């Protein structure tokens, strides 16, 4: 059974970079059948897609993050990492990673999801 587990610092200072890792077990991130995505959810608010990564290095990012985000993989560890630079309090959220099924070669729906990790941006 595929499982995803996010890990990260918990607390990040404003203007610094936020780095998260998603460790995947029960399946390979190099599978040709899936993208791997990050989604976030500010406390008490809705879901925002951050970006999606395919093992061939094809990536899609949310333009609203204004080139602050980078997603990469470590195939030896079966991990997908996300880096968000120049964070502000508005980046405080629960961050999720999820597998994204491919439909006609493009990213589709998210399933399953990791449990999420709360990252707070504060000095």
For the record, the structure tokens of 77 come out as 């560890």
Name the segment binding other proteins (CB under 8 A); options: 21-29, 66-74, 75-83, 95-103: 95-103
Contacting other proteins (CB under 8 A), which of 23, 52, 81, 92?
52
Residue 87 or 114 with smaller CB distance to other proteins = 114
Phi, psi dihedral angles at 107 (to 5 degrees) = -60, 145
Four-CA torsion 33, 72, 16, 90, nearest 10 degrees? -20
Tokens 């610092």 correspond to what residue? 9
Judged by CB under 8 A, does residue 63 bind other proteins?
yes
Judged by CB under 8 A, does residue 49 bind other proteins?
yes
Judged by CB under 8 A, does residue 46 bind other proteins?
yes
């Amino acid at each position: 059974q595929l499982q995803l587990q996010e890990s990260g610092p918990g607390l990040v200072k404003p203007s610094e970079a936020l780095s998260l890792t998603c460790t995947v077990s029960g399946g390979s991130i190099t599978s040709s059948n899936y993208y791997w995505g990050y989604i976030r959810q500010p406390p008490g608010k809705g879901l925002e897609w951050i970006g999606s990564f395919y093992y061939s290095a094809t990536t899609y990012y949310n333009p609203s993050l204004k080139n602050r985000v980078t997603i990469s993989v470590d195939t030896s560890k079966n991990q997908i990492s996300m880096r968000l630079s120049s964070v502000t309090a508005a980046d405080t959220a629960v961050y999720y990673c999820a597998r994204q099924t491919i439909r006609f070669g493009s990213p589709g729906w998210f399933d399953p999801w990791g449990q999420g990790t709360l990252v707070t941006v504060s000095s």
